[in-house]
Structure 1
Amino acid sequence: MLKHVLRLVALIVVIGIAIFAYLAWPDKAEIPIASVQGPRPTITAPRIQTIPTVKIAKVVGWQGDAKPVAAAGLQVASFATGLDHPRWLYQLPNGDVLVAETNSPPRKGGGLTGWVMRTLLGRAGASVPSANRITLLRDGNGDGVAEQRSVFMTGLNSPTGMALLGDRLYVANTDAVVSVPYTLGQTQITAKPELVVKLNGGGNHWARTLIVAPDGKTLLVGVGSASNIAENGMAAEKYRANILQVWPKEKTFRILAGGLRNPQGMAINPRSNQLWTVVNERDMLGSDLAPDYLTQVEFGDHFGWPWYYWGGYPDTRVDPSNPQLQQYSKRPDYAMGPHVAALGLTFADKLKLGQRFADGAFVGEHGSWNRTPVSGYKVVFVPFAPGGFPVAGAKPIDVLTGFLDKDGKAQGRPVGVIADRTGALLVADDVGNRIWRVSAGA
C-alpha cells in the first residue's frame, strides 16, 4: 500500500513540475519587433501567460571610459556622473537642470507579479532605495559638462515630475503634487513644500510625471495603474491609469483622459500645441503584445485599459468585461514596440541635432523585463510629418544605443530626456548613475 502511495505522490510531483515548466517556459517573440512598431503595428493573437516571461538585463554599470553609441552625425559624452538613480530631468529658464534622484517606494503585496517586481527586478537596479532628492546641475561655462552641483530639494517621497508655473515650482511625489516658491537662479530650496493635491499611491507604477498644460494655467499629471489589468478590482484604480488636470490655485483636479495603463513622458507638440504622451502597456500576453505607444491625448479620451488595448482588442482576462467601451476605445497614434518601457519624451523643437532629427519626438526606452529577446534599452526618434503626427510607415530611429554590452548586460538604462540650453539632448541614465549629453558632431 505504501509503495502505491509513494508512486502516486511521485507521479503528482512529476506532473506538477511538468505543468510548472510549461507555464513558466519563457515566451519568445514570433515576429520582428519592427512589425509591432509604427502607426499600423501587427497585432497578433495573444499568448496569455500564467507566469510571466522574465528576462532582465543584469546591471553591470559603465566600466572605464565606456559610453553609449550615438547615431551617425551625433556624439555623446557625460554631462554629470556620480548621481543616485537619476530618472527625470527639467530645465529651468536660466538653463539650470534639475534631476530627480528617485526610485520606487518599498513595494508590498502584488501577488506573483509583485514578487517578481520586488525580487527579480533587483537584478536590473530597480531595488535601490530612493534618494528622494532633487539635485541642481549647472553648466555655467557652456562646455557641455555640469561643473556646479547642489542639493536642491530633499524630504520628498519618490519624486519624478517637476514644472515651473509662475513663481512656484511644482513637484510630483508618488502620493501628492506639492509646490515651493522659486526665484530664478536659486540653487537650494529651504521652504517646506505645500500640498497641492493628493494622489493615490501604492501598487505598481509609482512614478508621477508632471508638465504645464497648453493653457499655461493648469498642470497635467500622469498617474499609472496600481496593477497589470486591474486584477485587484477597479476600486483600487481610482484616479489611476489617468492623466489628471490640476488647478494649482484652487487645489482641485479632474480626469483629463483615462484608460492609459502607465502614462509617463508627456510633452506639448510645438506644431499643434496638443498634449502627447508615451504609455507602458500591459504584460503577460506574450513577447509580441501589447505595444507601448506614443499618442496625442485630448480631453475625454479613453484608451481602453484594462478591458482593451490598441484601440479595441479585448483582453479576455479582465472580469467583468466592458463591451460598451469597445467602440469608444481610442486607438493610439504610434506603436513603440512591445515591452520597450517607453518613459521619457521630448519634442525636437528646442534641439539642434541636424535636419534628420529636426521634426519629431525623442523617446527614452528603459528596456523590457518580460520579453524574449529583450526590447528597448535605447533612445529613439519618431519622425513627424508637417501635419503634427508621425510619418506614415516610419519606424523609430535609433539615437543612442549601446546600453547593453556584448553579453547582454546593462551598462545603463535611459529614462527622462530633455533639451539643454545649447540644443543638445540630455538623457537620464538611472542605473548608470549619470546624465548623458548628445550633441551634433562626429
Structure 2
Amino acid sequence: MDKLKQFKVSGTDLNIPPVPQEGRNANAIRDNLKLVKLPPGFKIDLFAVVPDARHMAVAPTTNMLFVGTRKTTVWAVTDRNSDGVADEVKPFAPSLKFTNPNGVCWTRDGILIVAEHNRVLSFPAAEFFYEGPDVAVGEVVPQGKLIPVEEESFNHGARTCRVGPDKKLYITLGQPFNVPPREKLELYNKWGIGGIVRMDLDGSKREVFATGVRNSVGQDFNPKDGTLWFTDNQTDGMGDDIPNGEINRATKPGQFFGYPWIQGKTRITENGYDKDPLPPNVTPAQVLTEAHAADLGLVFYTGKRFPAKYQGGIFSAQHGSWNRTKPNGAQVLFTSLKPDGTADKTEVFASGWLDDETGTLRGRPVDVAVMKDGSLLVSDDYAGAIYRITYQP
C-alpha cells in the first residue's frame, strides 16, 4: 500500500496469468444455461468464466468490468473485441492483499471503489491502468475503521457500495448475528452495522443513513427520483416460510426498517423482540419475497434494448436457500414500478439454476448489472461465471 500510494513499483511479477475461458468447464456451464427459462425473445449465454464471481461494476468508458469476490481477488473482465463475450479475465492489482472484496462500484469521474470486509479502497482510472500488477490506490476507509475490529465476523461480512446522486459513497453493513443481542444494538446503531452508512469519497463526513436492516447485499439508486433501493436477507431458524425477504426503498436519511423487531410481516422471537411493542416509524418493505431465497444484488434497468415493460424497472438476483426443507430461489426477479415510484409487481424473469425434482443447484445468481449495449449481466459465485442476457424481438 505504501509503495503504490507513492507510485512506486511493488516488485510483483508483471505477468498476470489469466483464467482459461474455454474447455470442459466453460462447455459444461453453457450446457447448464440451456435449462434456464426466460421470457420470449430473451437469450442467455456465457459471458465469462470468473471464479467466485460476486458483485460487478461495469466500466464507464471501456468494454470491461471489475468483479468482486468473498475471497481475496478482484477480477478484471475485458471484452476486447466487443463481441459480447469476454476475452480476458485476470486478477486486478495482485500486488495488494484483499480481504472479502465483495463490493465494487464507480464514482462519477471514473474512480473504482472496492469495499472489503473492514476497509474501503479507491483506484483512479482503474479501467485504463489495470494491465499490470501495480496501480494507483487510495484509502477511503483504512483497515479496521469501517467497523470495530472486535465486531469482525465470518458472517454477513460482504459489503456492497454505490455512489449516490449526492456524490456520497453508500456502503451496506450487515450485522454479524442471526439476530443481534440487545446489548449490541446501541453500538451497531452508532456505527451503522445492520444498516447503510454514507460518507464523502475521501471517507470524511461519515453518517448512518439507514438502520433496522439485517443484512443487505445489494443496493442501487433509482435514476428517476434518486431513491435508494436495497435488498435484505431473512432471519434463519424460524421455519421454511417466514420471514419474507425484502426489497426496500429509502427516500430520505434516518429511516428505520424494523429489524430486529420485525422482518417482512413476522415478529422476531429470538431474544424476546416480539415481546416489545413494535417501534414507531417502521418503514415497510416495498417487495416481500419468498422466505430464504436470499435476495442479493439489484439494479435499475437503464438500457433501451429490452422491451418498454422492463425499462426503468428493477432486476434482482436470488442466491438460493441454504436452510430450507424444500430449496428455493436461484433465479432473477423483475419488479416494475408505479408512476409514483413505488413497487408495482414482482415476477420471475430467469429461472432454471435450481432443479425442482432433485433440489440440486446448478448455479447461484449473486448480482445483476446493465452493460452499455443494454444487455444484462448476471454473476454466479457457485458456477464461477458471468452470464449475458440479450433481447431480440
TM range (shorter): 0.7 to 0.9
Determine if the alignment matches structure 1 residue 318 to structure 2 residue 271. yes
Distance, in Å, in 2 between the alignment partners of 1:366 and 1:62 is 20
SS at match of 2:102: coil
Q: Is the 8 A contact 1:86 1:102 kept in 2?
A: yes
The CA deviation string for residues 152-206 of structure 1, in whole angstroms up to 9 with x for no partner, is: 2332111011222235321100111122222553334623643322222314111
Aligned match of 1:108:
none
Greater RCO (Cα-Cα under 8 Å, separation 6 or more): 1
Q: Identify which of 178, 181, 185 aligns with 2:128.
A: 185
Of 326-335 and 361-370, deviating more is 326-335
Which residue among 44, 47, 50 is the counterpart of 1:79? 47
2:219/2:228 contact within 8 Å kept: yes
How is 1:275-354 mapped onto 2 (pairs within 5 angstroms)? Answer: 275-297=228-250, 298-310=252-264, 313-319=266-272, 323=276, 326-350=279-303, 352-354=305-307
Change (3 A) 1:414 1:320: closer
After superposition, give the CA deviation of every residue in 1:318-372 in whole Å (9 maximum; x if it has no partner): 2477846522222111112211101010011225222332231000000111223
Residue 108 of structure 2 corresponds to residue 158 of structure 1: no
Aligned residue in 2 for 1:408: 359
* Equivalent residue, structure 1, for 2:23: none
Q: Which amino acid aligns with 2:264?
A: W
Kept in 2: contact 1:304–1:326 (CA 8 A): yes
Q: Hey, what's the Cα distance between the residues in 1 that align with 2:135 and 2:204?
A: 19
* Distance in 1 between residues matched to 2:389 and 2:66, nearest whole Å: 17
Q: CA–CA distance in 2 between the matches of 1:224 and 1:62?
A: 34
Is 1:79–1:436's contact at 8 Å kept on the other side of the alignment? yes
Counting aligned pairs with the same residue, the percent is: 28
Give yes or no for contact 2:302–2:370 (8 Å, CA) kept in 1.
no
Q: Residue 138 of structure 2: which of 194, 210, 218 is its match?
A: 194
Give the SS at the match of 1:285.
Answer: coil
- Asked if 1:145 is matched to 2:80, the reply is no
Matched, 1:376 2:291: no
2-structure distance, mates of 1:91, 1:264: 18
* Deviations, residues 231-287 of structure 1 (Å, cap 9, x unaligned): 484167453111000222253411100011011211111221111111112122211
Partner of 1:244: 197
The structure whose Rg is larger is 1
Distance of 2:369 and 2:203 partners within structure 1: 29
What's the TM-score once normalised by structure 2's chain length? 0.82
Which position in structure 1 is the counterpart of 2:113? Answer: 170
Letter in 1 for 2:308: Q
CA distance in 2, matches of 1:355, 1:73: 13
Separation in 1 of the partners of 2:339 and 2:329? Answer: 27
1:66 aligns with 32
Distance 1:96 1:251 in 2: 32
Give, in whole Å, the separation in 2 of the partners of 1:335 and 1:138: 36
**1:318–1:190 Cα change, 3 Å:** same
Code of the residue aligned with 1:190 in structure 2: it is D
> Partner letter of residue 282 of structure 2?
S
Deviations 1:368-415 (A, max 9, x none): 112232221101111112221111xx2x32222110235221111100
Counterpart of 1:338 in 2: which secondary structure?
coil
1:65 aligns to what SS in structure 2? Answer: helix
Residues 71-121 of structure 1 deviation map (CA, whole Å, 9 limit, x = unaligned)? 22200000002x211111111111443343522xxxxxxxxxxxxxxxxxx
CA RMSD, Structure 1 to Structure 2 (Å): 2.4
Q: Could you tell me how far apart the structure 2 residues matched to 1:424 and 1:327 are?
A: 42
State the AA in 2 paired with 1:387. D
**What SS class does the counterpart of residue 239 from structure 2 fall into?**
coil
1:385 to 338, 359, 365: 338
- Correspondence for 2:157 among 201, 206, 222: 206
2-structure distance, mates of 1:419, 1:90: 9
- How far residue 140 of structure 1 moved from its aligned partner, in angstroms, is 3.0
Aligned residues: 349
Aligned counterparts of 1:335 and 1:100: Cα–Cα separation in 2: 28
Distance in 1 (alpha carbons) for counterparts of 2:321 and 2:273: 29
SS at match of 1:328: coil
Paired AA for residue 91 in structure 1: V
Amino acid at match of 2:139: L
Task: Indicate the residue corresponding to 2:16 in structure 1.
Answer: none
Paired residues of 1:70 and 1:438 also in contact (CA < 8 A): no
Which residue in 2 is equivalent to 1:90? 57
For 1:177 and 1:364, locate their aligned partners in 2 and report how far apart those are by CA, in whole Å.
24
| Selected match of 2:381 from 430, 433, 439 | 430
C-alpha contact 1:89 1:97 (8 A) present in aligned 2: no
- One-letter identity of the residue aligned with 1:373: K
Q: Distance in 1 between matches of 2:351 and 2:377?
A: 14
Q: How many Å separate the matches in 2 of 1:232 and 1:226?
A: 13
Assess if the C-alpha contact under 8 Å between 2:257 and 2:282 holds in 1. Answer: yes
Q: Secondary structure at the match of 1:149?
A: strand
Give the SS at the match of 1:343: strand
Deviation at 1:209, TM superposition (A): 0.2
- The aligned counterpart of 1:124 is none
Decide whether the 8 Å contact of 2:192 with 2:210 is kept in 1: no
Give the SS at the match of 1:331. coil
AA in 2 matched with 1:411: R
